[in-house]
A and B are shown apart, each in its own frame.
Chain A
Amino acid sequence: MAHPSQLGFQDAASPVMEELLHFHDHALMIVFMISTLVLYIIIAMVTTDLTNKYILDSQEIEVIWTVLPGLILILIALPSLRILYLMDEINDPHLTIKAMGHQWYWSYEYTDYEELGFDSYMIPTQDLSPGQFRLLETDHRMVVPSESPVRVLVSAEDVLHSWAVPALGVKMDAVPGRLNQTAFVASRSGVYYGQCSEICGANHSFMPIVVEAVPLEHFENWSSLMLEDA
Chain B
Amino acid sequence: MLATRALRLVGKRAISTSVCVRGGHGVAKVEQYTLPAYFDRRENPLPDICYVQSLSPEQQSLKEKEKGSWAALSNEEKIALYRISFHQSFAEMKQGSAEWKSVVAGMFFLIGFTGLVVLWQRKFVYGPVPHTFEKEYKEKELQRMLDMRINPVEGFSAKWDYENKQWKK
Binding site for B on A (CB under 8 A): 1, 3, 6, 10-12, 49, 51-54, 125-126, 128, 130-134, 188, 190-191
Contacts and interface: CB of A to CB of B under 8 A. Distances in A.
Chain B binding surface SS class: loop
A134 B132 contact: yes
Contacts of A51: 42-43, 45
Q: Which of A3, A6, A188 has the most CB of B within 10 A?
A: A3
Contacts of A188: 152
Contact of A134 (B43, B130, B151, B156): B130
Contacts of B155: 3, 6, 10-11
Interface stretch (B62-70, B101-109, B138-146): B138-146
Contacts of B136: 130
12 contacts: A3-B151, A3-B155, A11-B151, A51-B45, A125-B130, A125-B132, A126-B131, A130-B140, A131-B141, A131-B143, A132-B144, A191-B148
A190 B148 contact: yes
Nearest to B45: A51
Interface of B: 42-43, 45, 94, 130-132, 136-137, 140-141, 143-145, 148-156, 158
B150 A131 contact: no
Given A131-B143, A133-B141, 15 more contacts: A1-B150, A6-B156, A11-B152, A11-B153, A11-B154, A51-B45, A131-B137, A131-B140, A131-B141, A131-B144, A134-B130, A134-B132, A190-B149, A191-B148, A191-B150
Contacts of B141: 131-133
Given A3-B156, A134-B132, A53 B150 contact: no
A12 B155 CA distance: 10
Contacts of A53: 43
A128 B132 contact: yes
Contacts of A12: 153
8 nearest A-B pairs in the assembled complex, by CB-CB distance: A131-B140, A131-B144, A11-B153, A51-B43, A11-B151, A3-B156, A134-B132, A11-B155
Contacts of B156: 3, 6
Contacts of B45: 51
Contacts of B149: 190
Contacts of B154: 11
Nearest to A18: B153
Residue among B45, B132, B152 with most chain A CB within 10 A: B132
A75 B141 CA distance: 42
Nearest to A1: B150
B159 to A, nearest CB: 9
Nearest to A130: B140
Contacts of B132: 125, 128, 134
Contacts of B137: 130-131
A3 B139 CA distance: 13
